[in-house]
Each structure stands twice: as C-alpha cells, then as structure tokens.
C-alpha cells in the first residue's frame, strides 16, 4: 500500500548506485553548505553500469521512493547511469502519481550545459559506464543544446572496479586508464574536451590527467552539478522552501554500515555515521 508522504520540509536527497555520488555530494555541500542532505548509496547492488534499463529504472525508483519517505522533496540522481536510464521515466510517469510537487533531477543535463562554452573545436568525447554510453544520453542531450557539436563516447568498464577496490593510485591501474583514453581519442582526432560522465572517475583524476594529451580539457561534473543546483533553488523558491537548512548530512546504504564507512573514507575527509536501509 502506498504510504502518505509528509508535506513537512526535509533534507535534499542525493542518490547513487554506490560511493561515486559522494564526489557530487561534496561539491554540492561546498556550494550549498546551509542545506541538509541524505546520501543514499545502493552499495549492495552496485554496479548499475552493466545492468539493463528495466533493472536500473526499478532500483532507482525504489531509491527515490525511499528518499521521499525519509522526507526529501528534492532528489538528485548523482549517478549518470541512473540519470541516463531512469530519470526521464520517473519524471514523466511516476512523479505525477507519487507527488507532483516533488522533484527529481539528474546530473547529465547540468554537465552538458557547460560544454558549449568549453569546446572550441566542437568535438567532444565522453568517458562513462557501458550503460551510460549505450543509452546515448550524452549525445542526445548535447545535440538538444548544441546541434553543431560532434560527440564520441567510450565505455570504461574497468574504471569503477579500480576505484571500488582501492586501486585508483596503483601502477596496475595505468594500463586501463591509458587504454580507454587512447581508444576514445583515436575515434576523433579533433576532440578538445573530454567529459568524465561517471561519478567515480574524479577519483582517478591524477592518472587521467597524466594520460590525457596536453591541450585537452577534462570536465569533471561535480562543480557543474553543484552550480546548477544552486541556480535551480534560486529559480524555484517554492522547492527551496521545502528543503531544511541546518547544515546536516546523513548517510544511508543498502550494504553493511561498517563496509560503507571503510570504503567511503576514500571519498570523504570526515567521520560519518551511517544507517542501513532496505530498498524494495
Ligand atoms: N555511479 C555510476 C555512474 O555515475 C557508476 C557506478 C555504477 O556502475 O554503478 O554512472
């Protein structure tokens, strides 16, 4: 039976398939420290990048419902795979039934909006999970705003496991970092801007910078998502009024609490308390 959702203001929900969304959350908190946040990581079922449309949609909808039940009126899908495969359907088909006053936003549109002023050659590359690349969400969103930009994509299936297994700094990671960059750039010699279209990839930034040829700009999405959210709340005071402001952040995971705390330390510079939740 559907639960009645509270109309009392609540925190902003930030959802990711695992830890990667913490890179987005930290930029959002830097930009908007006054708000309260609930971070929800579906760590027990990560990765999403290799899963089908149906499953990513089902899991993401469960997470959105959970965050709504926890009092969020605004939820950010801080996961490119979820943004690519579930956001549109949730916005169009589910929100009208769940609560038309609540909002769910993704990370692809805010990332794409900045591209037009960054690329000079009008040739852009996207590095992301297999699911995000296959969805064609980046080329579709880029072409809506900038029809003249030529987009090439390359899936990097080994990058998320490198981060999740604490191998981001290891010399063994070099082979896979270089491999996907070289493959992407060999598709189009004129690429001057590369989007890191996965929330885990900023953790690989030192090595990505090392293997990216000079002169190619790397777009890491956290700051753009944070800036876009600030702008959104400014343009939508009715939604901002439903977001509480005590500067607090709560962390939830579908995995064991201890495991989340241990692994999240690579992403955060603070001691956190974590609550386990069940998504269904
Ligand atoms: N956080 C996901 C993304 O941004 C990557 C991790 C996963 O495959 O679940 O696409």
pLDDT digits (tens, 9 = 90+) for 46-68: 999 889 999 999 999 999 999 99
CATH (residue range 10-105+221-274): 3.40.50.1860
Binned at pLDDT 50, 70 and 90, residue 1 comes out as very low
Q: Is the separation of the CB atoms in 110 and 222 below 8 Å?
A: no
CB of 16 closer than 6 angstroms to any ligand 1 atom: yes
| Ligand 1 atom, smallest distance to 17 CA | 9
Q: What are 184's two structure tokens?
A: 């992407």
**Does residue 246 carry a pLDDT above 70?**
yes
Is residue 95 scored above 80 in pLDDT?
Answer: yes
- Backbone φ and ψ for 173, nearest 5 degrees, come out as -70, -25
What CATH number belongs to 107-220? 3.40.50.1860
Q: 111 CB less than 6 Å from ligand 1? A: no
Residues belonging to the binding site for substrate are 16-17, 48-49, 80-81, 199-200
Residues of each domain in the chain carrying CATH 3.40.50.1860: 10-105+221-274, 107-220
pLDDT of residue 164: 78
pTM: 0.93
Q: 115, 149 in Cβ contact below 8 A?
A: yes
For ligand 1, the distance from its centroid to the CA atom of residue 144, given in whole angstroms, is 24
Query: Does the pLDDT value for residue 154 go beyond 50?
Result: yes
Sheet holding 123-128, edge to edge: 150-155, 123-128, 193-196, 217-220
Query: Rounded to an integer, what distance in angstroms lies between the CA atom of residue 29 and that of residue 179?
Result: 33
Type and span of the H or E element at 217: strand 217-220
Condensed to tens digits (0 to 9), the pLDDT of residues 15-58 reads 999 988 999 999 999 999 999 999 999 999 999 988 999 999 99
Query: Does the beta carbon of 47 sit less than 6 angstroms from any atom of ligand 1?
Result: yes
Q: What is the DSSP letter of 37?
A: E
User: Which of the residues are catalytic?
Assistant: 79, 198
The Cα–Cα gap between 187 and 158 comes to 19
For the chain, the straight-line distance linking the first and the last C-alpha, in angstroms and rounded, comes to 13
Out of 15, 60, 129, 134, mutate this one to test ligand 1's pocket (max ligand atoms within 8 Å of CB): namely 129
């Amino acid at each position: 039976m559907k639960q009645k959702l509270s109309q009392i203001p609540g925190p902003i929900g930030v959802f990711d398939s695992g830890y990667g969304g913490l890179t987005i959350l930290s930029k959002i908190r830097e930009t908007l420290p006054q708000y309260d946040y609930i971070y929800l990581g579906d760590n027990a079922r990560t990765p999403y990048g290799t899963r089908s449309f149906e499953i990513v949609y089902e899991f993401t909808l469960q997470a959105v419902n959970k965050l709504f039940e926890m009092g969020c009126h605004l939820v950010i899908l801080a996961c490119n795979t979820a943004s690519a495969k579930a956001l549109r359907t949730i916005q169009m088909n589910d929100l009208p039934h769940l609560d038309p006053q609540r909002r769910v936003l993704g990370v692809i549109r805010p990332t794409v909006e900045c591209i037009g002023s960054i690329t000079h050659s009008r040739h852009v590359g996207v590095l992301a999970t297999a699911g995000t690349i296959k969805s064609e969400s980046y080329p579709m969103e880029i072409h809506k705003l900038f029809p003249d930009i030529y987009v090439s994509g390359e899936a990097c299936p080994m990058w998320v496991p490198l981060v999740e297994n604490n191998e981001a700094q290891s010399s063994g990671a070099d082979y896979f970092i270089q491999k996907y960059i070289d493959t992407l750039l060999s598709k189009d010699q004129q690429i001057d801007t590369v989007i890191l279209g996965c929330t885990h990839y900023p953790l690989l930034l030192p090595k990505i910078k090392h293997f990216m040829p000079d002169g190619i700009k790397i777009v890491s999405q956290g700051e753009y998502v944070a800036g876009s959210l600030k702008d959104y709340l400014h343009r939508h005071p009715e939604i901002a009024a439903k977001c509480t402001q005590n500067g607090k952040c709560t962390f939830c995971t579908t995995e064991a609490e201890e495991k989340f705390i241990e692994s999240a330390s690579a992403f955060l510079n603070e001691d956190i308390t974590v609550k386990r939740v069940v998504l269904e």
